[in-house]
Amino acid sequence: MSKQIVECVPNFSEGRDMKIIKQITDQIETVEGVKLLDVDPGATTNRTVVTFVGTPDEVVEAAFLAIKKASELIDMSKHKGEHPRMGATDVCPFVPVSNITMEETVEYARKLAKRVGEELHIPIYCYEFAAFDEKRKNLAYCRSGEYEALPKKLKEAQWKPDFGPAEFNSKTGATAV
């Protein structure tokens, strides 16, 4: 049987400090079976789009380590940029590449979402194919009001995260997976 491969494209809310970006991507590269393909920082947006691929469990591990490092290094209360955002790791999408279905890929995305919520205490919203709620399929809906709206949103029942605490963390914000 051929190996299952998924792609992960996390967006981190840092696009100017290459030392911070490198520390995050170094975490990804520590995981055997994962290949870092691209690191695309943007100074104006103050956001870096990272692309890596690998076997599903390894991609989940690499994504977790990167999100953990971003939560340690990026302080959203000081973040300014031109791109809509709500967290240190703003989004972390998974894409099926080969020998894996979207349904299987969703299970890995939700596995990551649960772990990040439980272990890192970051509010997580599942979006697109991983959404549990029809409205949350739309990333713009999940991100509405951006980081600044999170303190109020997290107190409302309709905005209870899919995983993690319904509490505002000024440093990490929230993440969409």
Active site residues: 83
Residue with token string 């509405």: 144
Q: How far is CA 86 from CA 12, 77, 103, 163, in A?
A: 10, 10, 26, 16
Q: Which two tokens stand for residue 24?
A: 């995050």
Instruction: Tell me which amino acid residue 19 is.
Output: K
Evaluate whether 176 touches 133 at the Cβ level (below 8 Å): no
Distance in angstroms (rounded) separating the CA atoms of residues 53 and 70: 19
CB atoms within 10 A of CB 155: 12
| Distant-in-sequence, close-in-space partners of 78: CB < 8 Å, separation ≥ 6 | none
